[in-house]
Amino acid sequence: MPFIRGCQGMGVGWRRRRTCRLEGRGACAVAPPQVAAMAGQEDPVQREIHQDWANREYIEVITSSIKKIADFLNSFDMSCRSRLATLNEKLTALERRIEYIEARVSMSGKVLAHEARQGLCRENVHFHLLLKQTWKH
């Protein structure tokens, strides 16, 4: 038995066989291949129906391909957005950490500067005492 597949959207139960001939039921039904062979040649109506079928099949393939591309692009977009959001969160956390470290270093620098000033003051006091002692003698 030849391979048969259904066609969506045709409306009257169309089926296509490997022989590229159409069979169907309803108002636009086409004679089976045996009857067409007995007639000797296809009439213009059958040729138009065959051409219509080929056009519909071509449109179906293109539509399916466009849908697949759109699905891929939507999936890719969502994946990229998710990854960018994750990277943004990590970057924000790193920026906060850098600000914290800068604040600690700044405070440490102020503390060190303050301690250095106090140390200089002590040294200055010692220096003045030594000077006084030296000039007294």
Return per-residue pLDDT of the chain as tens, 137 residues.
344 444 444 444 444 444 444 444 444 445 555 555 555 567 999 999 999 999 999 999 999 999 999 999 999 999 999 999 999 999 999 999 999 888 888 887 777 777 766 766 666 666 666 666 766 65
Is residue 33 included in any domain, yes or no?
A: yes
47 and 72 part of one domain: yes
48 inside domain:
yes
0.75 surpassed by pTM: no
Domain that holds residue 92: 42-109
Q: Based on the fold, state whether residues 36 and 14 are members of the same structural domain.
A: yes
Q: CA 1 to CA 15: how far, in whole Å?
A: 14
Residue 114 lies in a domain: no
